[in-house]
């Protein structure tokens, strides 16, 4: 018997002084049985960093043909493709051919650093790709924010992300490893 996804509901308050973007979003997240709470929270961080009324969660781990998040135009063309984790370099190249902008948010400390070392050369040729390493205190601290019904406040200022749920806030430092040329 196949395990089913666990459904989470999140109310997000986003104050992004760097863009500037201010908005509230109510999202439903299907957490794949093999997905950790940490990875699910990283998807929410990626959502906050790219928040837009047209941004949607894709099938993510359940599909090779969809990203974790994406924004499509009215014709269905992919304007923005967002993956989290340590995706295969071929998947990233394919996404760059399908979308105007591609973002990869890597995390996991040493594993993320190793992934970047192994893939940086091949990915440098992609003109529409951004790779961001998300650094935070610990996986356990981030995962502790997860609950079936979440209310999270994201504050993004001067390149730093603060996440609060009414208890101890979590700080995330996004380090841009690669950005599109000429932008």
Note the pLDDT of residue 182.
61
Note the pLDDT of residue 82.
97
81-90: pLDDT as tens digits:
999 999 999 9
Q: Considering the chain, what is the average pLDDT of its residues? A: 93
88-143: pLDDT as tens digits:
999 999 999 999 999 999 999 999 999 999 999 999 999 999 999 999 988 888 99
% pLDDT > 90, the chain: 84
Q: What predicted TM-score, i.e. pTM, was given to this entire model?
A: 0.93
Note the pLDDT of residue 92.
96
Give the distance from CA 53 to its chain's centroid. Answer: 16
Which of 50-54, 66-70, 125-129, 167-171 has the lowest average pLDDT?
A: 167-171
Pick among 3.10.640.10, 3.40.250.10, 3.40.50.970, 4.10.520.10: CATH of 6-178? 3.10.640.10
Residue 61 has pLDDT above 80, yes or no: no
Domain ranges of the chain: 6-178
């Amino acid at each position: 018997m196949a395990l089913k996804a666990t459904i989470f509901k999140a109310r997000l308050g986003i104050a992004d002084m760097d863009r500037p973007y201010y908005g509230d979003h109510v999202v439903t997240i299907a957490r794949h049985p093999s997905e950790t709470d940490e990875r699910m929270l990283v998807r929410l961080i990626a959502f906050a960093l790219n928040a837009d009324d047209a941004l949607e969660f894709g099938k993510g781990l359940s599909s090779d043909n969809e990203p974790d998040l994406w924004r499509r135009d009215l014709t269905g063309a992919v304007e923005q493709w967002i993956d989290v984790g340590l995706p295969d370099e071929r998947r990233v190249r394919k996404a760059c051919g399908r979308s105007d902008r591609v973002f990869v948010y890597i995390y996991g400390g040493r594993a993320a650093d190793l992934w970047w070392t192994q893939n940086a050369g091949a990915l440098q040729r992609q003109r529409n790709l951004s790779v961001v390493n998300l650094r935070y205190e610990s996986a356990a601290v981030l995962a502790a924010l997860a609950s079936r019904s979440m209310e999270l406040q994201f504050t993004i200022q001067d390149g730093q992300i603060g996440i609060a749920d009414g208890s101890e806030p979590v700080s995330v430092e996004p380090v841009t490893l690669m950005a599109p040329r000429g932008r």
